[in-house]
Amino acid sequence: MTAPQQHDAPPAGRPSRWTTRKWVRAGGAVALVLLALLGGIGVWAMGRASSLTGTLVDGHSPALTNAVRLEAALVNQETGVRGYGLTGERRFLEPYERGLADEKTAVARLRTLVDDGRNRADLDRVLARTRTWQGRIAHPVAAAPGGAPVPLAAARAAEGKSAFDAVRRALTTQQDHLKAARADAVEELRAAERLRDGVFLAIGVILVLLALAVFEGLRRGVTDPLDRLSADTGRVTRGDFAHRIRVSGPADLRRLGADVESMRHRLAAELATSEERRLLLDEQTADLKRSNEELEQFAYIASHDLQEPLRKVSSFTQLLQRRYAGELDARADQYIAFAVDGANRMQVLINDLLAFSRIGRLTDKHERVDLDALVGRTLDTLGMAIEEAGARITRDALPAVTGDPTQLGMLWQNLLSNAVKFRSPERPPEIRVGVAPEGDAWRFTVTDNGIGIEPEYAERVFVIFQRLHTKDTYPGSGIGLAICKKVVEYHGGTISLTPAEGPGTAITFTLPRRAGDGADTAAAETVPHAAVPRPVPHAAVPRPALPAAPVPDGSAS
């Protein structure tokens, strides 16, 4: 892109030397004057048309409508009287009685709608002739006893017909006058609408011309210089930071161009610095990722490769203990016992570390896991500890989730074994497992009434090898809740220590809900400790390289 050409500065009195504010003020003043004038004319034309429309809609049309209703009411009266007079049956008076009510309503409405002398006189004439017909014919016939036709003399019947014909003529005259008045109002309204449309058409043309004038003024005074500034700025934004920004036009745009040019210099310097920092950050991130991978690999290899030599140490020390028990002095037996205990502790620690390092490494294959059955099997596994502690466990019916069944088993075994292990000597252990839907996840809570955890240790308990008690008080490796945290996060959830309602600890964690994972929880069911079968004692079963669930954390709950 070539640099925009430098334009010669026009004389100071030329409009192109105006500032943008001056352009806007001049155009705004002209526009406001024209808009005020045009607006006044438009309001007058609109008001006139609206007033005539209101007169037609609220006056002439309702008056004609009620005149027609009055005629219908009188015709109903005449029909009812004639039918009753011929048959003597009271049911024929129903149109007559309904017509009297409709007549009253129509007359009351007409009195409020007709205000000129001719229409008022028409209404009075109709009412006078109606009263004559009603007084001579309608009311006497309607008052006659029923059961037989009402006899009327020929002269009386002719008089009634003549009286109602007079009513009809008065109604026709009234409606003709109302129709003529409405036609005049319609024609006047159409003339006002034509005037209004012409006024608004003229206003539209003037507004278009005004908009074109404003557009041309803004183009010459503002947009063209801005386009030139934008073109130069675009070259800078596309990476040509060496391109010099030059502007022409109003004085304020030239100042803006100078500010943009200054910003270009600063931006170029800051981008260079930012790029250096980004490269350094990317390098540090890669180093940290590589370090974490190497650390996990080391933990896995170290714990795996230590299994065999440690197993030999443990086997031979146990062999010494069995073969030479009682043959050596008491101190030698004590030393051997210390060695056996240390080897066993190291075996537990290595197994836990190996399990921790394997989370998320061996497989990414997830499947549908029935947590209700999984927790049931976990409780069976912990049956001896539950029975010895006298623990009472209640749990909701748990849903199915998508995940790694082995890792989820490790999660539940660590949580439940901690709840049993860290019980209070002052009260029988009670453990509650709850679940509830929470958005697109399941929220699980494991609550106990044990010794509890102080709030200041809420984060520390999930760190690997962190203990809140000595090994003599509560045995364990200090890795249980760290495993729980890693399993939950691997499955896309979160885990935290939440305040319990009473004494004890409440661990809350979430697991994602997916389609087909199961319905909401049902009512809670109680799993008493006596119902849990006793498993084979732990000491009688050789510990595998990767257990289905590690020995629970000795300090985390």
- CA–CA separation, 510 vs 496, rounded Å? 9
Count CA atoms closer than 13 A to 130's CA, side-chain side. Answer: 22
The secondary structure element, H or E, covering residue 232 is helix 224-237
* 382 DSSP assignment: T
CATH domain 364-540 topology: Heat Shock Protein 90 (3.30.565)
Q: Which has the closest alpha carbon to 421: 480, 466, 377?
A: 480
Q: What is the pLDDT along the chain (557 residues), one digit of tens a residue?
A: 444 444 444 444 455 566 777 767 777 787 788 788 888 888 887 787 777 787 767 667 787 788 788 778 788 877 877 777 777 777 877 888 788 888 888 888 877 777 777 778 877 788 888 888 877 777 877 777 766 666 654 556 677 777 788 888 888 887 787 787 778 778 877 887 788 788 888 888 888 887 887 777 777 767 777 777 778 778 777 777 777 777 666 667 777 777 777 777 787 777 778 878 888 888 888 877 776 666 666 666 666 666 667 677 778 777 777 777 777 777 777 777 777 766 766 666 666 666 666 566 555 678 899 999 999 999 998 888 888 888 899 999 999 999 888 889 889 988 998 888 888 888 888 899 999 999 899 999 998 888 777 777 667 777 766 555 545 555 555 677 888 888 899 888 998 888 777 788 888 999 998 765 554 444 344 444 433 333 333 333 333 333 333 333 434 43
Q: According to the 3-state scheme, what is the secondary structure of 187-228?
A: HHHHHHHHHHHHHHHHHHHHHHHHHHHHHHHHHHHHHHHHHH
CA distance 474 to 553: 9
Measured between alpha carbons, how far is residue 557 from residues 386, 423, 466 in Å? 16, 10, 11
Please give the Cα distance from 450 to 466 (Å, whole number): 19
- Residue 478's CB is within 10 A of a number of other CB atoms, namely 21
- For 504-543, give the DSSP string: SEEEEEEEE--TTS-------EEEEGGGSPPPPPGGGSPP
CATH 1.20.120.1730 in the chain: give the residue spans: 16-229
Residue 130's nearest CA partner among 87, 85, 76 is: 76
Place of tokens 């008089």: 159
Q: Which of 25, 423, 479, 457 is nearest to 221 (CA)?
A: 25
Of 245, 246, 248, the C-alpha closest to 236 is 245
CA 40 → CA 36, 51, 101, 262, 331, distances in Å? 6, 16, 49, 50, 115
Element (H, E) at 501: none
CB atoms within 10 A of CB 45: 19
CATH 3.30.565.10 intervals, the chain: 364-540
Q: 167 and 136 in contact (C-beta within 8 Å)? A: no
Tens digit of each residue's pLDDT (9 = 90 or more) over 375-398? 999 999 888 888 888 889 999 999
Return the CATH class of domain 16-229.
mainly alpha
The runs of H, that is alpha helices, within 306-404 are: 307-323, 330-358, 371-381, 383-389
pLDDT tens-digit profile of 18-77? Answer: 677 776 777 778 778 878 888 888 888 778 777 778 776 766 778 778 878 877 878 887
Element (H, E) at 438: strand 430-438
- Count the neighbouring beta carbons within 10 Å of the beta carbon of residue 361: 11
Query: How many residues are recorded in the chain?
Result: 557
Beta pairing, strands 505-512 & 495-498: antiparallel
Nearby residues of 414 by Cβ (< 8 Å), 6 or more positions away: 480, 481, 483, 484, 549, 550, 552, 553, 556
